[in-house]
Amino acid sequence: MTHIIATALDDRWAWADQGNCQGQAELFYNDEQDRKGVRRRKEEAAKVLCEHCPVIVECRQYAMNAPELYGVWGGLTEMERHKLAGRLRSG
């Protein structure tokens, strides 16, 4: 039974291995000590990688459904995802 669960979890994340973000977590997650300018530059660099990512749709769907609270996912920052989720809920 454990094997089946592990396989399902692996399949659920299979798309992530194809992401342009692989090995670049420092761009996609801010450090608490980063200043605003540093955060903004990192977020913009992450978004550039996302623009041409083959799994941007899957990544964004995952982040919106999870919901992922931190980092850039599917080309959206946590604030952008929060705003989008609010608009989707309100109609």
How far apart CA 72 and CA 9 sit, in angstroms, is: 22
How far apart CA 51 and CA 55 sit, in angstroms, is: 10
66: containing domain:
2-90
Those residues whose C-beta lies under 8 Å from the C-beta of residue 62, and which sit 6 or more positions away, are 15, 68, 73, 74
The number of folded domains in the chain is 1
Give strand pairing partners of 76: 73
Above 70 in pLDDT, residue 85?
Answer: yes
pTM: 0.81
pLDDT of residue 6: 45
**Given pLDDT bands bounded at 50, 70 and 90, which one contains residue 1?**
very low
Query: Which residue type is seen at 1?
Result: M
Query: Which residue type is seen at 40?
Result: R
pLDDT in tens, 19-46: 999 999 999 998 889 899 999 999 999 9
